[in-house]
Amino acid sequence: MSDAVLPADPGTQAAETRAAAEPVLSARGLVRVYRIAQQRLEVLKGADVDLFAGESVAIMGRSGAGKSTLLHALGLLDRPDEGSLVVRGVESTRLSKPARARLRNKQIGFVFQFYHLIPELSALDNALLPRRIEFGPFAWAGERREAREKARALLAELGLGERMGHRPSQLSGGERQRVAIARALVSEPTLLLCDEPTGNLDERTSGVIADLLFEISEKRDHTLVMVTHDAELARRADRGLQLHEGRLEPLDA
């Protein structure tokens, strides 16, 4: 009888790879407290997470558990009351507000459930917003041509080649979300954070947008993090986490 060597379990291999790698984002002991009148609401109670290059992570939890609060903290939109948050080797909680904004704009892209597009701007100009913020009004004139070409290429890749001049009101829900994805990608971020990215779409369009997110993330080697209520979407991620009582735990299969 031969001593056959069984292939390693993919999940075990992934865990070993993560253990040997340097995380692109590392959060330790995140605490976020809201004070409403005389009440103290502790939403995050010491959340820990490491996120690694090229992986996809789904975060689930009951409504009101604090998933969006967590995502806003990880994305530097909100400063935690306690804890450390290191992004690409930079301890972000020690930075000034402008420095945090620069780090966020360069390293992190956001996709929201309700798109958050500016209604007066075309699809192309909405996609360009992070680059305009990055360069500022004076440097923008010299960077505009290259930035517009990159945004045009992204929108075309996302199937909006004929819709770049349209405003959000002239686009379907799925098209608006594609514009939001292009906006999130235009600065070539390390992290792509998505808050219920398919939650405002019908079932067919949700599937198309989910496919796009996974395809783009794999192609560009982004770290994809999705807050979602969709169990099927969560199963497609490399790993799942659950926000429970203010802390992150492995998601039960």
Separation of alpha carbons 99 and 69, rounded Å: 21
Mean pLDDT of successive 10-residue stretches along the chain, which has 253 residues: 47 52 94 89 95 95 91 95 95 93 93 91 93 73 80 91 94 93 92 91 88 88 92 92 95 71
123-157 vs 173-185: helix crossing angle, rounded to 10: 90
Separation of alpha carbons 64 and 229, rounded Å: 12
- Give the pLDDT score at 114: 86
Measure CA of the first residue to CA of the last residue in the chain; give whole Å: 35
Q: Give Cα separations from 209 to 67, 192, 216, 232 (angstroms).
A: 21, 14, 10, 13
- Give the pLDDT score at 71: 95
- The model's pTM: 0.85
Strand pairing partners for 40?
35
SS3 156: helix
With beta carbons less than 8 A apart as the criterion, state whether 73 and 197 touch. Answer: no
SS3 243: strand
Tokens 């070993």, residue?
16
- Give the pLDDT score at 180: 94
Separation of alpha carbons 110 and 185, rounded Å: 9
**Architecture of the domain spanning 22-250:** 3-Layer(aba) Sandwich (3.40)
- Give the pLDDT score at 87: 96
Q: Considering Cα of 151, then 154, then 156, then 158, what sign does the dihedral take?
A: negative
Q: Of 87, 100, 37, 35, nearest to 191 (Cα)?
A: 87
Strand pairing partners for 231?
none
Separation of alpha carbons 157 and 101, rounded Å: 28
The b-or-e profile of 144-181 (16+ CB within 10 A means b, else e) is eeebbebbbebbebbebeebbebebeebeebbbbbbbb
Domain ranges of the chain: 22-250
Residues 6+ apart with CB under 8 A from 53: 21, 24, 190, 221, 223
DSSP state of 61: -
